[in-house]
Amino acid sequence: MSRPLIGITTQSLQAIDGIPETLPPSVVMNQQYHLAVAAAGGAPVLVPLIAADEDALRAIYERLDGVLLPGGVDIEPSAYGETPHAKLGRVDPARDTTELTLARWALADDKPLLGVCRGIQVMNVACHGALHQDIASEMPDAGKHDWFAETGKGRDFIAHTVRTEAGSKLHEMLGDECEVNSLHHQAINALGTGLRVTAVAPDGVIEGIECDAATFAVGVQWHPEVFATRDAKSLGLFQALVSAAARARVP
């Protein structure tokens, strides 16, 4: 049987040699997501940022068996009715529109959906939730979550644990507790409609969500793709997406 097709969204590359600034930017995505999906038995497919042509985006979406929303830059706060915070990072409006559209379609159609880091935030905003635009500024009692490259730590640095909720898909996949990396400065604030918190950090930051009405719609705030080639639990998140996509695959 052929592998289920898993669409992975892309991100605008602001500059590239030989491409004039007057032309639309190139699109890129970290290969670790593609490798994790392939290792899990799926066939990764890059989805361009073409939400302005909704018919073309829909044609791609309808051929997909599952959707993966990966990590990346901040979401433009106007998408959830707020003005930019002083600590807001770089945004990518074309990606916001593309991913929010795909997330809403997937949830409406019960197409398997996995959100990673930014992806969990996109899922929340797609369901009319809101974000903390900067954890350190808005949640002063929270621990450090922004272990980016400039801190001297690698992407595989274990920053903290997360505890999962009994009876959830994340609990089934990860057990009671899991050690995770942490590469984000934003987090879920107001939870979106129809979503349930299924994993939290020791400081209360939301680290996992699920949509109970969906067959498989899961978001995690950490980056399991970093560990997927050497850690069974991390790979298991992608295997769960691929398995759900195989069961619900497009005829």
d(C-alpha 2, C-alpha 181), whole Å: 33
DSSP H helical segments within the chain, as ranges?
31-39, 54-63, 93-109, 118-126, 135-138, 169-174, 232-247
Using one digit for the tens of pLDDT, what is the confidence trace for 116-150? 999 999 999 999 999 999 999 999 999 999 999 88
225 is catalytic: yes
pLDDT value of position 13:
81
Identify the residue whose tokens are 């992608």: 238
Q: How far apart are the first and last CA of the chain?
A: 12
pLDDT value of position 251:
67
127 is catalytic: no
d(C-alpha 135, C-alpha 133), whole Å: 7
d(C-alpha 64, C-alpha 62), whole Å: 6
| Domain locations along the chain | 5-247
Q: Which of the following CATH numbers is that of domain 5-247: 3.40.50.300, 3.40.50.1370, 3.40.50.880, 3.40.50.150?
A: 3.40.50.880
Using one digit for the tens of pLDDT, what is the confidence trace for 180-200? 999 999 999 999 999 999 999
Catalytic residue among 145, 171, 185, 223: 223
Using one digit for the tens of pLDDT, what is the confidence trace for 207-236? 999 999 999 999 999 999 999 999 999 999
pLDDT value of position 95:
96
117 is catalytic: yes
The mean predicted confidence, pLDDT, of the chain is 95
d(C-alpha 130, C-alpha 114), whole Å: 19
Q: Quote the percentage of the chain above a pLDDT of 90.
A: 90
pLDDT value of position 21:
66
Residue 11 tokens read as: 């991100």
pLDDT value of position 131:
98
The mean pLDDT of 34-50, rounded to a whole number, is 97
Q: How confident is the model at residue 17 (pLDDT cuts 50, 70, 90)?
A: low
Higher pLDDT, 123 or 22: 123
Catalytic residue among 99, 117, 127, 145: 117
Higher pLDDT, 116 or 26: 116
Catalytic residue among 99, 207, 210, 225: 225
Count of other CB atoms within 10 angstroms of residue 207: 29
**pLDDT value at 7 more than 90:** yes
Residue 59 tokens read as: 């044609």
Q: Quote the percentage of the chain above a pLDDT of 70.
A: 95
